[in-house]
Amino acid sequence: MKKLTLFFGLLVLAASITLAFAQPQSKQVLMVVTSADQMTDGKPTGLWLEEFAVPYLMFKEAGFNVKVASPKGGKAPVDARSLKEGTHVFEWARAIIELETTIKLDQVGMQGYDAIFLPGGHGTMFDFPNNPDLTRLLNGFVKEDKVIAAVCHGPAGLVGAKKVDGTPLVNGKTVTAFTDAEEVAVELDMVMPFMLETRLREQGAKFVEGKKWTANVQVDGKLITGQNPASSKAAAEAVIQLLAGE
């Protein structure tokens, strides 16, 4: 009986190992959202919901495992201006739930993740640039040649990140982000700590400016950037295509 039990135990173990190798592992995506809920003038801000919800749902539909983190952890603030389209809010309910309990960024390691995605919202301009934990993760993704993506103000997180040779991550890279013209158009240029397009250009980026409010996504190797909320879907599609090709 003992021999029979041992035999079946070994059989189950062998089957489990075979199944693990036979089934492709799901891709793992880390999404990092802002914790900042105020601008310099005290006006409320936060995450721009579309830039998180659309990619999140697309990643889940693609079969990816997604974890959501933020600098402070816990509930992530959502910019009320991004909630105006009520029908979409209902469609995005599954994603919104994930914003209630985000992981604190300093508790996140890069091991196991295949891509990192930075949604925007004006809040990112205040807690993404030179954030030591975000920079640590981005530098690690660069070193291991993993996918890095950011949309709208999300590329603020690229400020401070470095290539292996110590130069700015965006130096010589073709990128885009929320443009200076768009910032002026929404009349928030005077309350931003800096103008994102200008800063990326200063760090040596080959900045591609599309028409205001229209989709514009740039892919340079494994770096993906989108200009504005309208670019969220195309940026997520680019991530999915890159990961599918690996």
Which is the catalytic residue, given 50, 51, 122, 152? 152
* Residue of 183, 187, 197, 209 marked active site: 183
Alpha-carbon gap, residue 79 to 208, rounded angstroms:
26
DSSP string, 214-227: S--EEEETTEEEES
Following CA atoms 191, 197, 203, 205 in sequence, which dihedral angle do they give, to the nearest 10 degrees? 170
Tell me the two tokens of residue 202: 């200063």
Measured distance CA(116)–CA(134) in Å, rounded? 10
**Is 61 among the catalytic positions?**
no
**Annotated catalytic residue: which of 153, 182, 202, 237?**
153
Distance (Å, whole) CA 227 – CA 172: 18
Question: What is the β-pairing status of strands 223-226 and 147-151?
Answer: parallel
Q: Is the C-alpha dihedral spanning 173, 158, 107, 54 positive or negative? A: negative
Q: Is 153 a catalytic residue?
A: yes
Cβ(48)–Cβ(229) below 8 Å: yes
The yes-or-no answer on residue 50 being catalytic is: no
**Hey, which residues are catalytic here?**
152-153, 183
